[in-house]
Structure 1
Amino acid sequence: MTATVDVVVPVYGKWELTRSCLEHLQRQSLPCNIIVVDDAGPDDTVARLRAGYPEVTVVALDRNRGFAGACNAGIRAGSADVVILVNNDVDAAPQLVARLASAFDDARVGSACPLLLKPDGRVDAYGICADPTMAGFVRYNGASVDQALSAHPSTRLLGPYGAVAAYRRSALDEVGLLDEGIVMYGEELDLALRLSAAGWRSVLVPDAQGVHLGGATSGRGSASQRRMAGFGRGYLLRAYGVLRGRYGIRALVTEAIVCVGDLVLSRDLASTTGRLAGWRAGAVSFRRPRHVPGVDRAIGFLDSLRLRVGDRRA
């Protein structure tokens, strides 16, 4: 039996991106319920949706709740077997929804990962992996499609990258939705860790593809972006008790190197202040599992540093 599908699109302004995203979703080969969540955006997205897209379910939030809050509102607004989160800066190929939905024919699968491409045809993301310190990395970013599909991966798949992420609703019911305590960056990593700890599998779906414009909705490399990324890292270090475990010293050394490098290159403390704020916020987060099968313990210290500077093709 074909699974029913909710596609949740969180938006904050950038109407032209949203319009293109919706046009591609409306051409999907498998019918789906499209839910657009306006995160109290600054433009007239809600009015445009209600006037021109009557078939789309619109959730208009009265205050900005961030990426996780907007996604969760959209998930709760639906009831389909499969939930696919799609950033509004993604143009989905016509078979993306159908291919991702078919992955859930296997009852052990809790999440599925498409092959996302950059506008120039290189790989944007082919799922994410995580090292023993719970640091997450995008797989195959910058590689060619042939490299991603033919090479034997040296990093174990943990779960989907946030730009397009497919989940079994019953798996989300079991482990919980995205943690709204994370401002931005790290929400999908945390959810992937919790799904893995609960015994759910994640699978790659190479023929489910889309183009991720990437960085169109946030300043890539800006102080704000680095601060929010640092917040997510500090939050998860605290929530998962990494510094109290066997990899605590490694995590401290790695974070120190990253923060010093960010200071030298960017001449600000955005990455450091973000981590400190996330560490404080993580103290009141709910308890996380300590054993996560999907974490790749083969990613060593030097490998982790290499991944952090963007060499993610393996």
Structure 2
Amino acid sequence: MPTIDVAVVAYNHFELTQSCLEHLERQTREFNLLVCDNGSTDGTAERVAERWPLAKVSRLETNHGFATACNTAVGLGSADYLVLMNNDVDCRPDFLERVVAPLENDADVASVASLMVRPDGERIDSIGLTADATLSPFPRHTGRPIGEAADERPVLLGPAGTAAAYRRSAWDALGGLDERIHAYGEDFDLVVRLRAAGWKTAAAPDAVGIHLGSATYGHRSRRQRQYGGFGRAYLMRRYGLLKRREAARTALTEAIVVAGDAVISRDLAALQGRIAGWRAARDLPKLAFPPPEAIDHDIAFREAIDRRRGVYSQ
């Protein structure tokens, strides 16, 4: 019985899913394939079931958001280690072997960040997430040469959901992804909760995948920016960011980001998303803040503003 479950969420763009699964076929470790079709209209579920008959496939009639679809896929399995993979990722043959190694070697590690590289194969897309004092998330090492992937700065908070490994017992204890977040921010929230619960994280720079980009919602589309704004404000309220010492910096940062987005995009999608996210968190309990060592306190205000450009399309 394989000790690894690989959960893939698909929404149309079958050619991406096909490429992703074909790369998974070449893995050096055995695994269980779990696929959730998140309301596709191109026959993705049927085509996956036909091409990969051993896969466990669930089909949602409509798009319920990434978090719900991901939790649905995860629920199809029970292996000790869980790997989430976007359908727009093509991984190297030893990816699974490398990404679960930190989980196998240290019982206190609950999450592992892999190395996502850009399609040119020369630059880093991300190797996990970092966060500043306002709990703003940023992809680590983005745009840097792949030879710098092992650099320890900035601080690793945890993996991005693009392609990441988790200990299932920790995942189950925390209830998986928050399904109130339709897309953008749900992976960040999970790693914050894991760190707040006392779990360690690790990076696996030798677990390499090519990230082909944001195919589901389109880069900087109105919907993407609205979902990004929702997730940011929702988490700001859940973690009580406007009641912490960094409240003024948090509020000023958001004002600058929203105003800048409105000017560039000529709409209020980022603001509208934030209003909706703030309201959605109104009656929910506050969440514990992660320990100080999980946050990169060296990211200053100006640097954070620069980093926020384009991150989660906020």
Taking structure 1 as the reference length, the TM-score comes to 0.94
Residues of 2 paired with 1:291 and 1:125: CA distance? 21
Q: Please tell me whether residue 126 in structure 1 is matched to residue 95 in structure 2.
A: no
Q: Please tell me whether residue 140 in structure 1 is matched to residue 141 in structure 2.
A: yes
What does 1:226-265 align with in structure 2 at a 5 Å threshold? 226-265=225-264
Residues of 1 paired with 2:9 and 2:286: CA distance? 27
Residues of 2 paired with 1:292 and 1:271: CA distance? 29
Residues of 2 paired with 1:142 and 1:245: CA distance? 32
**Structure 1 residue 276, shift from structure 2 partner:** 0.9
What is the identity, as a one-letter code, of the residue corresponding to 1:183? H
**Structure 1 residue 59, shift from structure 2 partner:** 1.1
Query: Which aligned segments of 4 or more residues in structure 1 are displaced greater than 4 angstroms?
Result: none
What does 1:74-113 align with in structure 2 at a 5 Å threshold? 74-105=73-104, 106-113=106-113
- CA deviation string 1:254-307 (max 9, x = no partner): 000001111111111111111111111122334311343412222221221121
Residues of 2 paired with 1:47 and 1:310: CA distance? 35
**Structure 1 residue 82, shift from structure 2 partner:** 0.6
1:86–1:164 Cα contact (<8 Å) kept = yes
- Range 285-294 or range 82-91, more displaced: 285-294
Residues of 1 paired with 2:217 and 2:17: CA distance? 14
Alignment match, 1:57: 56
- CA deviation string 1:122-151 (max 9, x = no partner): 1111100111211111011111112333x4
Alignment match, 2:70: 71
2:192–2:290 Cα contact (<8 Å) kept = no
Alignment match, 1:308: 308
SS in 1 for 2:6: strand
- CA deviation string 1:189-232 (max 9, x = no partner): 00010000011111010110010001222210111111111111
SS in 1 for 2:149: helix
Taking only the aligned residue pairs, the percentage that are identical comes to 46
2:192–2:289 Cα contact (<8 Å) kept = no
What is the identity, as a one-letter code, of the residue corresponding to 1:125? S
Residues of 2 paired with 1:203 and 1:129: CA distance? 12
Residues of 2 paired with 1:224 and 1:144: CA distance? 31
Aligned residues: 308
Where do 5+ consecutive residues of structure 2 fail to align? none
SS in 2 for 1:134: coil
Alignment match, 2:173: 174
1:10–1:71 Cα contact (<8 Å) kept = yes
SS in 2 for 1:251: helix
1:89–1:217 Cα contact (<8 Å) kept = no
- Range 292-301 or range 173-182, more displaced: 292-301
CA 1:111–1:271 in 2, change beyond 3 Å: closer, same or farther? same
1:118–1:124 Cα contact (<8 Å) kept = yes
Residues of 1 paired with 2:272 and 2:310: CA distance? 22
What is the identity, as a one-letter code, of the residue corresponding to 1:24? H
1:9–1:37 Cα contact (<8 Å) kept = yes
What is the identity, as a one-letter code, of the residue corresponding to 1:127? G
- Range 58-67 or range 117-126, more displaced: 58-67
Q: Please tell me whether residue 6 in structure 1 is matched to residue 5 in structure 2.
A: yes
- CA deviation string 1:18-61 (max 9, x = no partner): 11011011110000001110112111111112222101111112
What is the identity, as a one-letter code, of the residue corresponding to 1:115? L
Q: Please tell me whether residue 116 in structure 1 is matched to residue 116 in structure 2.
A: yes
SS in 2 for 1:220: coil
Alignment match, 1:30: 29
Alignment match, 2:273: 274
What is the identity, as a one-letter code, of the residue corresponding to 1:182? I
